[in-house]
Structure 1
Amino acid sequence: MLNHPSLWYRDKDSLRIGGVSRYIVEYTRLNSSIEKIYFRLKNIEKSSIRAIHLLSGPFILYCHVVPCNYNPKKQFYPDDMTKNSEVVFENQIKPNQALNVTLLLNKNSLKHVNEDGDEVFQWEIEVISQIVITNKTEVVYDFLIGDNLSFLKKLGHNIITETLTSLKNKDTDTAMSEVLQSADLDEPNKVYNPSLKVTKKTTDDIWSNEPKDPKKPVHLIIVTHGIFSNLTADMLYIKDQLEAKVKENILVRGYRYNAGRTEKGVRKLGTNVAEYIVALIETSDYKYDKISFIGHSLGGLVQSYAIKYILMTRGTDYFEKKQIKPTNFIGMASPFLGILNEMNFLISWVLDIGTLGKTGRDLTLSKRLPAWSDIGVGDSKKRHSFKPILETLPDDPLSEFLSKFDQLVVYANAVNDGIVPLRTSALLYLDYEALGDVSELKKSKHIHEHPELEETGHPIEANRSRDTISEIPEEEDNQMVKDIENAEGESSSKSTSNHFLGLGKYNDFLNLSSSEPTTTHKHHHKLSRRQKRYKNFSVKGTESNLFSEFVPENSSLHQQQRQQQQDEEQSESTEDDTQSIIVPPRASAIESAISTIICPVPSTQFLINPDIRQHVIFHDKYYHFNTPPEHDEANKHSKLEWLTSVVLRYHSKWKLEKQKLIADKYHSCSGWRKVLVNLPPDAHNNIVVRRRFANGYGWGVIDHLCDLFRVTENKL
């Protein structure tokens, strides 16, 4: 059998939803005259399939090629930046398109020199399916390595199906004909050059690894993917980084078979995850002593229900009996409060009528539709079961169990996330005084003033009581109250105490303005309908009772707040139409959808020069309510108000009150660490780094997440 010397390796494979193929390519150079070799990846699906890809695809691939000495934390120096950046990625390799990469044999790819004095070069090449929605389709690719790119291009999928007669009539293609006649040419994962070594890992190989020391206790980390997402590909970067940076004996796992089943609803998806976790714990050969949860987007809700389901069906002491300590509970851009109040009427209505199945109704806080199983159920239990699942989710036993975690953390996109915006992902309550107008973040390109927030071991500002927190932005025309000692009298621990009816400037928070105290000025503009709704809900709901309930009456803060409240009550009679609040910008789901399809990707300079990367984390605080608020749901509305709320559900203050109810339940269990990030579009996928390089803007977020686990390590 005769093989062409220019073909060194070939692999043909297909990937379904969440499919990953990772290749470690090693080449031992025996001939010093060889300075480069070539890699070619071709999507061999037919071009005609692009027209229907939205129904069952898209049939596209992601691929990146990285030399072994690349380190994203250090400056990378290509030999010739203008010709070859050496760190290459392509986010959308469409049907019948190909990616061609020149692999340079230089210091960047040199792994070591072997015992014979020969140089060994290495690269990592990763191929990932971009299929979403369905798990019934697949995308096929052709993977080639050789020293003649022209030959590799001719050796395409289509040319193999041609008749050998036409090829033999061309003298220049005689050698290719001989290759085509080779019986084992189509054999997958085939190496033809003995100097080349290719190690291929499939999806199962990557996700079935062992902990560092299988004989020692293992910290189990459950990762859960989000809407229209998948575990094995989309949560892969988090898995890799945790395994590389966390010194603890960890094992990262997750339930992969919810992919393509987004419409099943939080209950069904969460039940699947719960049964997977129980099976993993009870049938594993490892001894688990700790467990953590990381959920992205819808995954935050799914894993919350999974925990609750385990506690309800296996007993509230299930993890205690298994001697497993809850350690970290982390939500990343997760809609804990739903999205009804974040989306416009049309999108909310489309989801509510079931366009996204049960999941869409869950996210819009819709009541569960009755089923045959409800016949014979008691009245009280039946009424409770019909409530929106997100409303009852944080009730016990989940609430009590959450208080047992060492850390409760939420990561939230301040801007550029129209899928899960700030309010719902940050559990409503935030230090809006320090945040200022978050819409200004869209205009900021780089945030250099707080690099310490992304360094290991940075201090966490603590809000010890509810008086330092506001759930929605309020009046803009009052001076910020700063550096007031907390109510517990800890002179060494200070926090930025805020006036609930005041909103600081974004520039003050970033120290971009003068160090002198800044007094904001009133803006005389008409309030919009949306601003009035927020203002009325805020002032008449929670804030009006905060001073006496949570702040000591003899404190200077209480006196300042009371005086400020009296001044504003007096001014309200004459300036009802004064623009006095800055409402977070309304989410743009359409903009986010476009950003997902046509998203800006990091430049080559971003990848090779860490000094030009912006600091994405700008707010990291611990929030704790000493006295959680109580709600009287029975007398919340008059009959007329209740009827109006039902009829005009998408426009009434019912949405805000419902979100506040859910947020208060989450805050009643324990303190939350809230980390806000400023990422460019597609922020919703960037925050979890869905693809290692295409979503590289979120690297700083994952570094911060890994640091969270180091905090719990230090407690050992």
Structure 2
Amino acid sequence: MFSRYWKDPSRESKVLLESGNHVLLYNDQRGISQGEVFRYIIKVDKAQLDAKTKIEELVLRIKNVESPLLRPIYLTGPYSVYAEVRPYNYDENTAFQGDDLQFISDLKPDEAFSATLKLNGDSQVGESTVYSWTVDVLSQMTLMVDHPILVRLSIGNTRSIVKAAMKTPARAVEPVSGFTVEIQDTMTVWNEPPLFPERPVHLVIVTHGIFSNIGCDMLYLRDRLKKCADAVEENCNQNVVVRGYHGNIGKSHKGIEYLAMRVADYVLKTIAQMRNEYVLDRISFIGHSLGGLVQTFAIQYMLERDPGIFSPQAGGLRPMNFIALASPFLGVIGDFPLYATVALNFGALGRTGKDLNLKNDFAISELVRNPKQAYNRRPVLESIVSGSMKSVLQAFSNRTLYANALHDGIVPLRTSALLYLDWYSLQEVNLIGAQEGAETFDLGEEDHALKRYDTVEIPPDLSEKKDTIRWLLPRALIKRRHKWYKRSQTVKPGIEQLWDEDSDYHPLTKASALSSAANILVAPPPTQDYYKDPQSRTDYIFHDKRYSPEELPPAYYRNRELLKKILYPNDKVHRTQEKIARGYQESMSWRKVLVNIQPESHNNIIVRRRFVNSFGWIVIEHLVNEHFGRRASRSD
């Protein structure tokens, strides 16, 4: 796509473009819309280059050609792009001795980004004479669906030639022998065929959160999942294909049910289409944030439309992995500050915001058609655990939740981990981590005993009556503050669990929604050492345990006295959240993986952008290896 609205090229640019010492190899301009990515795979074969064309390095220049007047407009934008360059031999999980990685996190209107493509060991393909790089350009738009951002990309042998190219009309360049560029758009990247077309295929559906931006925000997950799965030996390879629904972009405010029905239609259509070409036998779902809820409802709608879809005996697919990362299964009410809760109730995120606040509003038309059903309607998040959905979830081979223990004020630990955890064990990790720094702690072993406190001694120096009262006061505050942890502490069958109200319990630090929002804007990216040296990374997974139904404590809010229901205004909310959490866990086990990544862990946990959110690499690596890697494939 070439623009017709460029100024006439300057005389200097014309002369430079016609000079024999400066070679323009590639000149491209495209419009990139919300959720879109363009991937450029650049290859240079030195053996095929003309003898006169001596190239040891190339210069790539990317420019956002939108008007600079659009820079401050964020409400309908931002009108910017993210761009990165990866040499052929770079891998996040292998020590990299090459040059610094090149990327720009936010290329604003009328700004340009330059990168050097060196023909050296970083980019050499094996022992051949071919050198290769992958360049990704991703839209940063979040709200405007139909406004493409014009982006110019030029490649030449000097900085002067690519700068001059930016001042001339975009036009095709005469091909140069030994130099090729393959362009993959969003649909090409996201519709890659299976590695082994003749073998059974494992379909993996990914669903994104609040902006439904599959194309860009789930790209890193797609790339790592495919690379990990395709590396497995052919005899046990799961033959994975990754797909996601792109049609919900710009519709996040319409409610979880609306989004889920569209995802369900897409998945059913995709299954039917793929069965015309391949043998489809397995399916998995991966959702981030709101996507975890959307995929849950989508599964239910799929079941309603095709009761045998998840039954191999009935010709359906075998459900393999149900995975959610930082998903608010219990909603966000009680975790958000009051002003945020009120804003959601008044439509800050439309119908979706009310769903997350556990509101059960009904339409007037629904009241007229079926008054009894309308009045008895439950919150959307509660309705999912009372139907046939539970039997489908039980059929999945793996149910895994990834939750941010710290630094996530958007979807805190309580709601993303389904309420019930081994809080005492987490307390120990919190204390040890504070003393010894970031380390990995495996708390998944069955013999990990809980701490028990039988008595609490009043310190000797508080023998005076006045001092004793001073000591008792903070103890009373601690007792009240820790009630919530006591109620959601898991138990061990056959072992009496004691929670001493006076024990000096140290819960994990809670993140605030404001600090999380601020970190999205101002948090610094990792260092080059972080990108190149896996040993320098301090993010870690500190809790990885499979929780069984037998570990659930007795329900606390199920049979509350009427007086307490009246006295405590939040009783209904807590009762609903408890019911949701128990509905998911009373009949099936869940693997809960808690991670400590910073500084803004909600976007980092999914690695929204490869080099900006790379603190979450460890999470994605754990996810793909544990569910689609060699060990998982061999045990399947």
What range describes the TM-score normalised by the shorter chain of this pair?
0.7 to 0.9
How much has 1:365 moved relative to structure 2?
Answer: 1.1
How much has 1:668 moved relative to structure 2?
Answer: 1.4
Instruction: Look up the match of 2:5.
Output: none
Aligned partner of residue 301 in structure 2, secondary structure? helix
Separation (CA, whole Å) in 2 of partners of 1:317 and 1:199: 38
Q: 1:191 to 1:524 in 2, by over 3 A?
A: farther
The one of 577, 580, 587 equivalent to 2:511 is 587
Instruction: Look up the match of 1:253.
Output: 243
How much has 1:529 moved relative to structure 2?
Answer: 9.8
Q: Deviations over 1:202-225 (max 9, x none)?
A: 111111111112222111111000
Separation (CA, whole Å) in 2 of partners of 1:605 and 1:289: 42
Q: Which amino acid aligns with 2:262?
A: N
Aligned partner of residue 713 in structure 1, secondary structure? helix
Instruction: Look up the match of 1:419.
Output: 410
Instruction: Look up the match of 1:662.
Output: 580
Separation (CA, whole Å) in 1 of partners of 2:252 and 2:429: 31
Q: Deviations over 1:236-284 (max 9, x none)?
A: 1111111111131111111111122111111001111111111112232
The one of 177, 184, 192 equivalent to 1:201 is 184
How much has 1:339 moved relative to structure 2?
Answer: 0.9
Instruction: Look up the match of 2:71.
Output: 50
Q: 1:528 to 1:341 in 2, by over 3 A?
A: farther
Q: Which amino acid aligns with 1:692?
A: R
Instruction: Look up the match of 1:407.
Output: 398
Q: Deviations over 1:488-540 (max 9, x none)?
A: xxxxxx421325779xxxxxxxxxxxxxxxxxxxx94745998665544566x
Instruction: Look up the match of 2:267.
Output: 277
* Match runs of 1:420-435 below 5 Å: 420-435=411-426
Matched, 1:358 2:351: yes
Q: Which amino acid aligns with 2:535?
A: D
How much has 1:373 moved relative to structure 2?
Answer: 2.6
The one of 291, 299, 324 equivalent to 1:307 is 299
The one of 83, 102, 105 equivalent to 1:91 is 105
Q: Which amino acid aligns with 1:610?
A: P
Instruction: Look up the match of 1:436.
Output: 427
Instruction: Look up the match of 2:450.
Output: 498
Instruction: Look up the match of 2:635.
Output: 715
Q: 1:226 to 1:631 in 2, by over 3 A?
A: same
TM-score (norm 2): 0.85
Instruction: Look up the match of 1:262.
Output: 252
The one of 127, 132, 136 equivalent to 1:122 is 132
Q: 1:384 to 1:713 in 2, by over 3 A?
A: farther
Matched, 1:21 2:38: yes
The one of 9, 14, 26 equivalent to 1:9 is 26
Instruction: Look up the match of 1:103.
Output: 117
* Match runs of 1:164-563 below 5 Å: 185-187=170-172, 190=173, 192-246=175-229, 247=232, 248-284=238-274, 285=276, 286-315=278-307, 319-320=311-312, 321-377=314-370, 379=372, 381-385=373-377, 387-436=378-427, 447-450=438-441, 461=444, 494-499=446-451, 524=471, 526-527=473-474, 534-536=481-483, 551-552=493-494, 557-558=495-496, 561=497
Contact 1:18/1:230 (8 A) holds in 2: yes
How much has 1:323 moved relative to structure 2?
Answer: 3.0
How much has 1:349 moved relative to structure 2?
Answer: 1.2
Contact 1:7/1:192 (8 A) holds in 2: no
Instruction: Look up the match of 1:674.
Output: 592
Aligned partner of residue 220 in structure 2, secondary structure? helix
How much has 1:153 moved relative to structure 2?
Answer: 1.8
Separation (CA, whole Å) in 1 of partners of 2:145 and 2:545: 40
Separation (CA, whole Å) in 1 of partners of 2:154 and 2:289: 37
Q: Which amino acid aligns with 2:401?
A: V
Matched, 1:610 2:610: no
Matched, 1:685 2:603: yes
Q: Deviations over 1:80-108 (max 9, x none)?
A: xxxxx342111111111111111112121
Instruction: Look up the match of 1:39.
Output: 60
TM-score (norm 1): 0.76
Q: Percent identity?
A: 34
- Unmatched segments (≥5 aa) in structure 2: 1-13, 233-237, 455-469
Q: Which amino acid aligns with 2:593?
A: V
Q: 1:588 to 1:377 in 2, by over 3 A?
A: same
Separation (CA, whole Å) in 1 of partners of 2:158 and 2:118: 13
Instruction: Look up the match of 1:62.
Output: 82
Separation (CA, whole Å) in 2 of partners of 1:292 and 1:19: 24
More displaced stretch, 68-77 vs 247-256: 68-77
Q: How many residues matched? A: 589
Contact 2:282/2:320 (8 A) holds in 1: yes
Q: 1:121 to 1:624 in 2, by over 3 A?
A: same
Separation (CA, whole Å) in 2 of partners of 1:89 and 1:39: 12
More displaced stretch, 267-276 vs 283-292: 283-292
Q: 1:499 to 1:127 in 2, by over 3 A?
A: same
Aligned partner of residue 121 in structure 1, secondary structure? strand
Contact 1:337/1:425 (8 A) holds in 2: yes
Separation (CA, whole Å) in 1 of partners of 2:343 and 2:349: 8
Q: 1:643 to 1:273 in 2, by over 3 A?
A: same
Q: 1:120 to 1:226 in 2, by over 3 A?
A: same
Q: Which amino acid aligns with 1:212?
A: L
Contact 2:63/2:110 (8 A) holds in 1: yes
Q: Deviations over 1:568-620 (max 9, x none)?
A: 5xxx7xxxxx6854444443111111211223212111111122112521111
Contact 1:14/1:140 (8 A) holds in 2: yes
Q: 1:524 to 1:703 in 2, by over 3 A?
A: farther
- Unmatched segments (≥5 aa) in structure 1: 79-84, 161-179, 454-459, 463-493, 503-522, 573-577
Separation (CA, whole Å) in 2 of partners of 1:136 and 1:442: 47
Separation (CA, whole Å) in 2 of partners of 1:300 and 1:444: 35
Instruction: Look up the match of 1:469.
Output: none
Q: 1:400 to 1:616 in 2, by over 3 A?
A: same
Q: Deviations over 1:284-315 (max 9, x none)?
A: 22222111110000000000000111223332
Matched, 1:143 2:153: yes
How much has 1:150 moved relative to structure 2?
Answer: 2.2
